[in-house]
Amino acid sequence: MTGERVISAKGLAKRYDAFEAVKGIDFEVRSGEVFGLLGSNGAGKSSTMRMIGCVSRPTSGELRVLGMDPVKDGSRIRGRIGVCPQFDNLDPDLTVRENLYAYSRFFGIPRAKGRRRADELLEFFEIADKAHGKVAAMSGGMKRRLTIARALINNPEIVLLDEPTTGLDPQARHLVWERLHQLKRQGITLILTTHYMDEAEQLCDRLVIMRSGRFVAEGSPASLIRTYTQPEVVELRFASDDLRALAEKVDDLGRVEVLPDRLLIYTDRGNDVAARVRDRALGPSSVLVRRSGLEDAFLALTGRDAR
Amino acid sequence: MTTLAPSPSRVRAITSRNISALRSGPEYWVTVLSGVFEPLMYMLAMGVGLGSLMTSGHWTVDGKEVSYLQYIAPAMLASAAMSGAVSETLIHFFFKLRYQHTFEGMLATPIRPVDIVAGELLWALIRSAAYIAVFLAVIATLGVTTPARALVVFPAGFLVSFAFGALGMVVATRLRGPQDFDAVVVGQLALFLFSGAFAPLSRYPEPLHTLAALLPLYHGVELVRGTAFGHLSLALAGHAAYLLALGVGCLTWTARRIELGDD
């Protein structure tokens, strides 16, 4: 939270006909921060991103991006930000390199500089060997890298990444993360939405959890874990199916959650609780003590039910 | 927002994207080339083939007698101008808008809807202009028109492209899906057949006559035919005004519709 304020929103809302996607949110993002928007599908993350990206008009509330008003100065703001949308919209009519070059023209970058920048980015994202092929010939991971490369063509001050690694295999995800870390080190402000808690934990300085168009929690990954869950989790598996009955026998040890295949006990003394469970001779088939993660905090806040 | 004028540099950027697309492979060329061959084939088949059986005396422009080939050649040129423009602004525009999300990508940059509308229309006009030029070269070679006349016909054909390019965009934003292309093909064929290309409208019974006289291609055919063989008249100015008004109206409407696309 050291840099100047680059985005601020007050009472920001977005309604599509009868559906209220975003119901009045307040936030600030400072330059150099990595700010995450977490939430289930339909929580309002993408709508928020589209308003910041000046492609969707706020229904009400106040929004400033780089000190300007997205409704009046949309084109100017868009010139200084980069957008990696949730669904790839790479140009199938163009080659990989032309995808970047055509974009440089949209930003009004001079031809020679645009070509140079396109080549730099192809190298940076390790897709230079695909430069003259069509987009359709690329793997999902490569397309994603190209989309992020395209978002950087104008040396943006802010980059919006809407689910940057959804659908990628582990190798491809790690490669994207490495590159995003490098951008962070360069001081670029990153705003990202994700479903992956490990991604948010790794990348975000600060994040908010959205639910039904509202923020339900806000803070650093560590502070959210501290606030909304215990530091450790004891996972118990049993041969028996009657987990509810078993839960009652351990519910004095901490907050107990019953899952279809196991019990979770949230605690600040995991090993201690594990030992006490063993003392009770309930015969668990396995006992695992692990540290709580952001996923535990997220599920505590938004519930486990799939909507 | 639509009152904003398009930015020349952004319009150029869109054109440059389309040139890259044209250069990136043979797929696009198939569409481009087939568009000019169709009306050329009609002209040769009907004008030369069928035309040799026509008795003279029926075919006049501003009271001046012409051959059947001369009668239909300007109409085929108007039709080529129409289909060149419509192929870009209706079919390609539709795919870029709905399936390839090309415009969605562009709109995340400083490009504005008005720049896209202007850029895509300009590209359609460039393609049409090439069609018109090829057509004029062919008919000048056949002795249907003279090079001097061709210089006057060119802007007339260009105005036809403008009107249909803009109209194509309106249709593109209204299509529900590719299934509607069948309706578009029939619509275009109806224009082609009933716009006075092959016979004067006065030969048609009412209400077909009045109905056809309202169609945009009729005004395009009359304008091109008039500039090819007739003399400048108030009627020609009327046809030109009709096409200009149609084009400007459609452009304004489309820019506004894309602008509001999200809400």
pLDDT at A161 over 90: yes
Contact A53 B108 (CB under 8 A): yes
pLDDT of B263 = 45
pLDDT at A65 over 50: yes
| Span B154-178, pLDDT tens digits | 999 999 999 999 999 999 988 888 8
Contact B100 A74 (CB under 8 A): no
Average pLDDT over residues A35-48: 91
Average pLDDT over residues B236-245: 95
pLDDT-derived band at B2 (thresholds 50, 70, 90) equals very low
Give the gap in angstroms from C-alpha A85 to the nearest C-alpha of chain B: 8
**In terms of C-beta distances under 8 Å and separation of at least 24 residues, what long-range contacts does A299-305 make, across chains too?**
A300/A228, A300/A229, A301/A209, A301/A211, A301/A216, A301/A217, A301/A228, A302/A39, A302/A40, A302/A209, A302/A211, A302/A216, A304/A259
pLDDT-derived band at B259 (thresholds 50, 70, 90) equals low
Residue with the larger pLDDT of the pair B116 and B144: B116
Where in the sequence of chain A do the CATH 3.40.50.300 domains occur?
A: 5-220
Residues of B in contact with A90 (CB under 8 A): 105
pLDDT at B4 over 80: no
Name residues whose C-beta falls within 8 Å of residue A49's C-beta, 6 or more positions apart in sequence. Answer: A37, A160, A162, A191, A193
Q: Rounded to an integer, what distance in angstroms lies between the CA atom of residue A230 and that of residue A29?
A: 28
Nearest CA in chain B to A99: B17
Which residue carries 């975003």 as its tokens?
A22
Determine what percent of chain A is predicted with pLDDT higher than 70.
98
pLDDT-derived band at A133 (thresholds 50, 70, 90) equals very high
* Domain regions of chain B by residue span: 8-51+58-259
Contact B20 A94 (CB under 8 A): yes
Q: Rounded to an integer, what distance in angstroms lies between the CA atom of residue B129 and that of residue B136?
A: 10
Contact pairs from chain A to chain B, CB under 8 Å: 80
pLDDT of B260 = 58
Q: Report yes or no: A165 and A116 within 8 Å, Cβ to Cβ.
A: no
Nearest CA in chain B to A87: B101
CB < 8 Å from B in window 118-137 of A = 134
**A280 shares contact with chain B (CB less than 8 Å):** no
Cα angle value B72/B76/B77 (rounded, 5°): 120
**A97 shares contact with chain B (CB less than 8 Å):** no
ipTM (interface predicted TM): 0.83
Flag the least confident range among A43-57, A208-222, A246-260, B55-69.
B55-69
Most confident among A110-114, B193-197, B212-216, B257-261 (mean pLDDT): A110-114
Residue with the larger pLDDT of the pair A304 and A215: A215
Residues of B in contact with A51 (CB under 8 A): none
Q: Rounded to an integer, what distance in angstroms lies between the CA atom of residue A6 and that of residue A3?
A: 8
Q: Is A167 left (phi over 0), alpha (psi -120 to 50) or beta?
A: left
Which residues sit opposite A287 in a β-bridge?
A236
Hey, what's the torsion of the CAs at A281, A287, A289, A293, to 10 degrees? -120
Contact A106 B21 (CB under 8 A): no
pLDDT at B195 over 60: yes
**Mind spelling out the 3-state secondary structure of chain B?**
CCCCCCCHHHHHHHHHHHHHHHHCCCHHHHHHHHHHHHHHHHHHHHHHHHHHHCCCCCCEECCEECCHHHHHHHHHHHHHHHHHHHHHHHHHHHHHHHCCCHHHHHCCCCCCHHHHHHHHHHHHHHHHHHHHHHHHHHHHHCCCCCHHHHHHHHHHHHHHHHHHHHHHHHHHHHCCCHHHHHHHHHHHHHHHHCCCCCCCHHHCCCCHHHHHHHCHHHHHHHHHHHHHHCCCCHHHHHHHHHHHHHHHHHHHHHHHHHHCCCC
Contact B24 A93 (CB under 8 A): yes
pLDDT of B254 = 86
Q: Rounded to an integer, what distance in angstroms lies between the CA atom of residue A196 and that of residue A181?
A: 16
Q: Rounded to an integer, what distance in angstroms lies between the CA atom of residue B46 and that of residue B42?
A: 6
**B31 shares contact with chain A (CB less than 8 Å):** no
Contact B262 A50 (CB under 8 A): yes
In the CATH hierarchy, which fold is given to the domain comprising A230-291?
Alpha-Beta Plaits (3.30.70)
Q: Rounded to an integer, what distance in angstroms lies between the CA atom of residue A94 and that of residue A135?
A: 7
Q: Which of B7, B20, B100 would best serve as a mutation to test chain A binding (most A beta carbons within 10 A)?
A: B20
Nearest CA in chain B to A153: B109
Residue with the larger pLDDT of the pair B28 and A187: A187
Which of A76, A78, A105 has the CB atom closest to B108's CB atom? A78
pLDDT of B28 = 78
DSSP-H helix ranges across chain A: 45-52, 74-78, 96-106, 111-124, 140-151, 170-185, 197-203, 221-228, 243-248, 270-279, 294-302
Where in the sequence of chain A do the CATH 3.30.70 domains occur?
A: 230-291
Average pLDDT over residues A213-221: 92
| CATH H-level superfamily of A5-220 | P-loop containing nucleotide triphosphate hydrolases (3.40.50.300)
Residue with the larger pLDDT of the pair B34 and A224: A224
